[in-house]
Every structure is written in structure tokens, then in C-alpha cells.
Amino acid sequence: MKVPKISRCRLAIFVGVLVLCDSAGSIAAENSSRWLLSPKLLEQANLKTLWQNKLPIRNDEKLERLFILDNRIYALSDHNYIVSLDREKGDVIFSKPIAPPGLPVPNLELYGGELIAIIDNKLVQIDPEFGTEKKADNLETGTVCPVVRNNSYFYLAGVDRRLHALRASNRVQAFEVAVENEPMITSIIANERSVIFGTDTGNVISITPDKPKQLWRFDAPKAIAGPLVKDRMSLFFACKDTNVYRIDIVHPRRVELVWKCQIQGLLDRAPRVGKNVVYQYAQGKGLTAIDKRNGSTLWSLREGLDLLTEVAGKAYVFTNTSTLVVMDNKKAKELYRVNFAGVSIYAANTADSKIYIADKRGRLACLEPVEL
């Protein structure tokens, strides 16, 4: 592909890498209808395009969200049209409406080879190979966060401020849990050993998976912001007291506070937990990188919105100016910037080094950093 002439450009060297920059110091992107971002200029920024796909959505639709679940990436339009793709190759697995336009689809979960979602107050199970609905059950209460499950139960956080456990075999309620003063349950994690949930008054509670028996409890000063994040035997969460917390499960019946890190900004979402670094967004503060071991602040990027991926000690950060900023976590310094003009949708990925970006027209691309 021929690279068009770029006006007002200059050459700059960042950390020994020659890159093409515009007058603002960002790597310029090619204005092309074919490419979401120019492969040649991405190559100069040590990024390569693994695949790109134009999703089969109508002209009057807009791409709205991306979900990464195991080896698939799911793209959802504002008309609730969903496209499932192999996230390694970009091949479309299926595409179809998942719900009537206008109905909220808060999230998708994957368990045991089935997609699970709450749609129109129904617990819906979807075949991930064909997108067909396998089962749908009406719920007796509305829900406030994504449904989760283990081998035996579905767990739902109801608008009635109770945790409901439904038997996986027949969707009949086995038990329910309420906390004193009845706070709203806002996040649930479940496996075969325990169920952990957070509340809007700051409680983090673990119970046995088959009955409402408390195993341990940790009380933060204010509401848990966004979902709890479990990483092995550690739990990470943002609290509305402006701190990010790490607590470790040191025994099935006991947890310990390892650290808390104050961000000094309004926290309204969960942290991203990487291999050695935790990334937290705060309104007015941007993205802050925290040492996973001791909770010390490594760096802050005021325009940073979210982590796209991390690899070899580098964080690839999407900003509110549609720019990719590459940060060196160890040296706590910015390495370079790439103009991501046109990119409006992304999926944060802490599983591997892939970067998934898209625009509202349905152009979806998978990039990967190239380590020299």
C-alpha cells in the first residue's frame, strides 16, 4: 500500500527507535478507508497488524462494545447485533441479533462452553459456536451485575439486595443471602470452593458455594467501585474512599490486607490487574500504575483512559485524545506515542500481548507489539 504524503511532519528518535511524527509529537496514522490504522506506520512504531475485519453491521448501526472471552472476541452493536470472531485469526464464527434493539445487554460471561447473559430479565444460555439460544428462564427479580456460575449454581445479585443461588440443573433457587442493613450487592466471583461478593457499603464477603455460611469478611470504608478482580489468591478492588486495595486469601476462613494505594481521584471502575502492575483509572487523574507487590505508585498518565495490553514491562495505554501511549513500567517513563485517530472502541486485554481496537463503523483490528 502506498503511504500518502504527511504534511508538517518531522523525524524523531525515541529509545533508539526511528518513528514518523506529526508536529504534536505523535506517530501519524494513514487516512484510509481500508485500514483502521496504517500498517506501515504501525510497523515504524514496533506494532504489527495480525488481522483486520469489517464487521457485518448495517450502515445505520454503530459498534458499541467488545468482549474478550477465552479464544473469542465478541462485538456488540447499538442494535444488539453480535458478531463472534476467532481472536487469533479474526474469522467470523457467527453474527446475529442477540436481543431486540433497545434492550440492555449488560455483559456476557462464558462457562462450560456456554455464553451466559441476563437479557430482558431472563437468564439466557447461548451456544458459542452458532449463537443460538439454548435455554432462557424468567427471573423473579431484576439483577444489578453480571450473573456468574460454578458447576452447581448460578449466582445473581438482585435488585432486592440479596444474593440468589439457583441450581444449575433446574434454575430453582437453592438459597439466598442478605447482609445486615441490606446493601446492594454489586459484584460476584464464584468457583467450586467459595463465592465472593462486594457491596455498595464496602463489604467484601466470602461464603460457602452451597449454603449461606460465611467464610470470611473484609470491610472497606466505602462502596466497592466496579467488579472485584481475583488473581490467584489475591483480590484487587477500587473503593470509593479513593484507594485501590489488595487483600490476600491466606486461609479459606481468613484474609489479610496487603496494601492500599490512594489515587486521589474519584474511582468508579475496577482496576486492570497485569502480571506485575495494577492499573487504575480515576476521574480527573487519568490512569495510574501501581506496583502489584507493595502498592507503590509507579507512574500516572493524566490523559490515560485504560490499559490495552502489557508486554515485556511496557504498558500500552489508550488515552482520551485517541492516542496510544507506551509506558516503561520499570523506568516509569513514557517511551512514545502513536496516533490512534479513528479508534473509539477497544477491549482491555491482560491475558496476552494482543491489542484489540475498533471504530463505530465496525472496522476491527488485532495488533501486537513487536519486541526488538
Note whether residue 188 is domain-resident.
no
Average pLDDT of the segment spanning 321-350: 95
What Rg do the C-alpha atoms of the chain give, in angstroms?
Answer: 22
pLDDT at 22 over 80: no
**85-119 pLDDT, tens per residue?**
999 999 999 999 999 998 988 889 999 889 999 99
Q: Which three cell numbers stand for residue 362?
A: 465496525
Note whether residue 361 is domain-resident.
yes
For 44, phi then psi, to 5°, come to -65, -20
pLDDT of residue 372: 56
pLDDT at 1 over 80: no
For 239, phi then psi, to 5°, come to -120, 150
The pTM assigned to this predicted structure is 0.89
Say which CATH number the domain at 278 has. Answer: 2.40.10.480
Note whether residue 169 is domain-resident.
no
pLDDT of residue 296: 98
pLDDT at 21 over 90: no
pLDDT of residue 24: 36
Average pLDDT of the segment spanning 326-331: 96
Q: What is the distance between the alpha carbons of residues 310 and 351, in angstroms, rounded to a whole number?
A: 9
Number of domains present in the structure of the chain: 1
Q: How far apart are the first and last CA of the chain?
A: 24
pLDDT at 3 over 50: no
Range of 279's domain? 1-71+271-372
pLDDT at 63 over 60: yes
Note whether residue 210 is domain-resident.
no
Note whether residue 2 is domain-resident.
yes
User: Poorest-confidence range of 18-32, 75-89, 238-252, 294-308?
Assistant: 18-32
Note whether residue 21 is domain-resident.
yes
**158-204 pLDDT, tens per residue?**
999 999 999 999 999 999 999 999 999 999 999 999 999 999 999 99
Pair 69, 52: CB distance under 8 Å: no
Rounded to 5°, the CA angle 175-176-181 comes to: 155
- Region label for 129, one of left (φ > 0), alpha (ψ between -120 and 50) or beta (otherwise): alpha
Pair 28, 20: CB distance under 8 Å: yes
- Which amino acid does the sequence have at 74? Y
Q: Which three cell numbers stand for residue 177?
A: 443471602
Note whether residue 342 is domain-resident.
yes
pLDDT of residue 23: 34
Task: Calculate the alpha carbon distances from 274 to 262, 280, 325 in Å.
Answer: 19, 11, 17
**261-288 pLDDT, tens per residue?**
999 899 999 999 999 999 999 998 999 9
What band does 29 get if pLDDT is binned at 50, 70 and 90?
A: very low
Note whether residue 333 is domain-resident.
yes
H-type alpha helices, the chain: 39-44
pLDDT at 54 over 50: yes
